[in-house]
Structure 1
Amino acid sequence: MASATGAGTSGLRETVRGLLAAHWRAEHGYSVPNPGTYPHLWLWDSCFHAVLWAKLGDGRAAAQELDAVLAGQLAGGMVPHMRYGGAGPDTWLGPLPGTSSLTQPPMFGHAARVMSDAGIQLSAATLARARAGLDWLWENRRTPEGLIYVVHPWEAGNDHSPRWDDWGAPGRTSDGYSRSARTAWNKERMAEVSFSADGAACWSTSFVACPAAFNAYTAFNLRELAAITGDPELEARAAALAEAMDEQLWDDSEQLWSDLAVVGGGPSVSIPISDGVMGALVTADRAKARAALAQLADPARFGAPYGPANVARSHPAYDPDTYWRGPAWPPLNYLFQQAFRRQGMDDEAASLAKLTEAGAVASGWAEYWNPDNGRGLGAVPQTWAGLVIAMQQ
């Protein structure tokens, strides 16, 4: 993918359009994140693709991406985190032949909001399916205290995060990190997951957690869908979830939202990661939001030349080159910017957009990159790096 350095906004847009088009699979109706590394559909990736197509003015492709996400919805309402295509199914993801049995951050509410704001007509069926997906989380994945839980690290989106270290996962940074060992451990955890009649994962005997970021994403998407449907119940659920986060997950010592261990786990749930800022997307507490967001530009915490590091740079777990152990991630930066804008922090939002653009271009439009030098990591190029165009003012 050619660099867009110096090409301005129009050059960025054409670069991203070309990236999405090169990864488009007409027979499936979606763009794959990366044809070699990620040949399937992933829930939040395709939701971000819908956002990008909408920003590029292609309502047809945006609608196809969002409908492709929701086409995998199970009978009970869960939206799977993967639909298989290309290379065939990953059978260790559950009992279903065409999709995984796990879910992922429900970014379809936000995708629908962006599309609606762009003047793209959403069908009643699409909106109903998005509502059913959020209903499923609310009705099937909520603790008695009102938080949303996940039953596998893959569901959280940050599957190799140091916050999961105390579940017995191998490859701690202090021991010499091994991504392959951690991936094997994640696969083994599927043997402890139980499933409902429609194939949806419902519990685990070894790993259950209430991640701060996943709760924030759910509340955010409830609110986004409510904004276009006018549904007061969705808005009330978003407010209740945000309040539960503030009461149960706010870590005053770190000035971040931390995760809660339900089955397994330990102190690692409080390791300072940038995902702990995501409560700023939904909290009604302005002081908490600003205290967390301020850390994204602080070099002693997450601040770095190519966008926020995923782990506090002063923490022993920080490794800027290792998957979910320190690199900068374009989808997180995009969501941080959403939080900045919600808090009226427009200068900070604009600054983050520039850092993210610099990282995307320097990395070759990578899946993630070293926040200190912009070196591309993971799959290169990856479609969600194109979120830089959605961050432009």
Structure 2
Amino acid sequence: MTDTDATLDHQVRQLLESHWDEARGYCVPNPTTYPHLWLWDSCFHAIIWAHLGDERALRELDATLAGQLPNGLVPHMRYGGRRADSWLGPLETTSSLTQPPMFGHAARVLSRHGFEPSEQTLDRAKRGLDWLWRTRRTDDGLIYVVHPWEAGNDHSPRWDDFGAPGRTPDSYSRPARTAWNKARVHDVTFDDDGGAQWSSTFVVCPAAFNAYVAFNLKELAELQDDQELAARAEQLSEAIDTHLWDEDEQLWSDLPVVGGGASARVPTSDGVMPALVTQDRSRALASLRQLDDPHRFGAPYGPANVARSHPSYDPQTYWRGPAWPPLNYLFWLAARRWDLAGAAHTLASRSVDGSLHSGWAEYWNPENGAGLGAAPQTWTGLVIALRDPMTIAQGIGRVSPSEGVSKK
């Protein structure tokens, strides 16, 4: 380990240690702004703990899945001793919505680092993915979400045509969009367990969310040698390529089901995420190369979340242009999968620079690295994974010899 790597290791460990809640067994992303447990944040925390060689990786993953509803839904929030400030459904201790299910990948990373998740945890992970497969699929075989919070990128310009404030770039207002998001929970219907089922105003099949589900199905399938999960991953990946590829943008776009319009095709870096799972090499490379193209997403401190040439691009504004550490980590995995060593190195270097320059911020301006959102934020510690030789040597997520065949 070089001195630089040792310093990074020390800083990341300090970051997680300072946010660790021993009684609850998880890190709070930021004690002031985010005092609860969030689903994909804690999955990323578990990954970071694993890279640090700390057994709290197992405790964090266990805590992530401990709020699972009887029907299998893994809530996007577990409340940290009190309810959240806004209404998130009828349940008292968790939200009724979900979030990107990164627990399949987290379980595999933990196992790779010598931390074997319990059978109970693995069963919960499988049931969480099974719930999405059984209850959230369209006739086209895609997975849908019923609220922007479920997709993770809740202020994305891709949602502008769902009636959200910001139908034109100069009309966007973060407070107005936040109020609109809160109001949309009242449009959601819930099942007997309190889990979100449908919405009268917002149902969409996001390219990134579908990629996350397929990726986690595949990761858990490989960890458990589960052919059913593997088949589902392949089936979903094919549906993504069939229904979501945008030939003009050379990205994958979102598919509105209830509400929405042309904004679903706004070029955002979410449209690169299916490179994690597609078997079409030409599409994967066409999308991934845009992450370093200055006319698209390429910026000095990591990929912008919205194409820099698009009218909606604002490098300072939440999900309207900044660089995000968890997205950079997933782009890095996709670049490694397709053996793009140079692109992966650039992503790693710019992500580390962004994390340090921003003060370990939740996200940052990709043009100048200025920290934005909550700071410090725990998931920014993911940059340690981008520098970990174990991940590189083991080729986590890499295309197998039988993959990479163009399917059109």
Q: TM-score range by the shorter chain?
A: over 0.9
SS of the equivalent of 2:87 reads helix
SS of the equivalent of 1:93 reads coil
Could you tell me how far 1:87 is from its partner in structure 2? 4.8
2:36 is aligned with 1:68: no
SS of the equivalent of 2:198 reads strand
CA displacement 1:265-321 (0-9 Å, x = unmatched): 000000000010001000010000000000000000000000000000000000000
1:1-393 matches, within 5 Å, as: 8-59=4-55, 61-172=56-167, 174-392=169-387, 393=389
Q: In structure 1, what residue type is equivalent to 2:131?
A: W
Point out where structure 2 has 5 or more consecutive residues left out of the alignment.
Answer: 390-408
Point out where structure 1 has 5 or more consecutive residues left out of the alignment.
Answer: 1-5
Could you tell me how far 1:347 is from its partner in structure 2? 1.8
Could you tell me how far 1:177 is from its partner in structure 2? 2.5
- CA distance in 1 between partners of 2:116 and 2:357 (Å): 36
Residues 39 and 86 in structure 1, CA contact (< 8 A), matched pair in contact too = no
Could you tell me how far 1:346 is from its partner in structure 2? 1.6
Could you tell me how far 1:88 is from its partner in structure 2? 3.1
- CA distance in 2 between partners of 1:172 and 1:307 (Å): 27
Residues 83 and 92 in structure 2, CA contact (< 8 A), matched pair in contact too = no
- CA distance in 2 between partners of 1:149 and 1:352 (Å): 29
Could you tell me how far 1:190 is from its partner in structure 2? 0.8
SS of the equivalent of 1:137 reads helix
CA displacement 1:166-198 (0-9 Å, x = unmatched): 001013453342111100000111111000000
Q: In structure 2, what residue type is equivalent to 1:201?
A: A
Residues 91 and 97 in structure 1, CA contact (< 8 A), matched pair in contact too = no
SS of the equivalent of 1:120 reads coil
Runs of 4+ in 1 over 6 A off after TM superposition: none
Residues 319 and 327 in structure 1, CA contact (< 8 A), matched pair in contact too = yes
- CA distance in 2 between partners of 1:335 and 1:175 (Å): 30
- CA distance in 1 between partners of 2:216 and 2:248 (Å): 28
Residues 39 and 87 in structure 1, CA contact (< 8 A), matched pair in contact too = no
Partner of 1:3: none
Could you tell me how far 1:207 is from its partner in structure 2? 0.3
- CA distance in 2 between partners of 1:173 and 1:268 (Å): 10
Moved more, 116-125 or 313-322: 116-125
SS of the equivalent of 1:313 reads coil
Question: How many residues were matched structurally?
Answer: 387
- CA distance in 1 between partners of 2:81 and 2:345 (Å): 38
- CA distance in 2 between partners of 1:172 and 1:27 (Å): 44
Residues 86 and 182 in structure 2, CA contact (< 8 A), matched pair in contact too = no
Q: In structure 2, what residue type is equivalent to 1:11?
A: T
Moved more, 342-351 or 48-57: 342-351
Q: In structure 1, what residue type is equivalent to 2:30?
A: N
Residues 310 and 325 in structure 1, CA contact (< 8 A), matched pair in contact too = yes
- CA distance in 1 between partners of 2:261 and 2:233 (Å): 28
Q: In structure 2, what residue type is equivalent to 1:302?
A: F
- CA distance in 2 between partners of 1:343 and 1:175 (Å): 38
Q: Could you tell me the TM-score, scaled by structure 1's length?
A: 0.97
Q: In structure 2, what residue type is equivalent to 1:31?
A: C
Residues 165 and 171 in structure 2, CA contact (< 8 A), matched pair in contact too = no
Residues 194 and 204 in structure 1, CA contact (< 8 A), matched pair in contact too = yes
SS of the equivalent of 2:366 reads coil
Could you tell me how far 1:26 is from its partner in structure 2? 1.0
Q: In structure 1, what residue type is equivalent to 2:350?
A: L
- Percent identity at matched positions? 68
- CA distance in 2 between partners of 1:154 and 1:165 (Å): 14
SS of the equivalent of 1:261 reads strand
What is the RMSD computed on CA atoms of the aligned residues? 1.1
Residues 303 and 273 of structure 1: is their aligned pair in 2 closer, same or farther, counting only changes over 3 Å?
same
Could you tell me how far 1:86 is from its partner in structure 2? 4.5
Q: In structure 2, what residue type is equivalent to 1:381?
A: P
Partner of 2:394: none
CA displacement 1:227-252 (0-9 Å, x = unmatched): 11000111110011010000000000
CA displacement 1:83-112 (0-9 Å, x = unmatched): 000453345100000000000000000000
- CA distance in 1 between partners of 2:222 and 2:240 (Å): 21
Partner of 2:402: none
- CA distance in 2 between partners of 1:362 and 1:76 (Å): 43
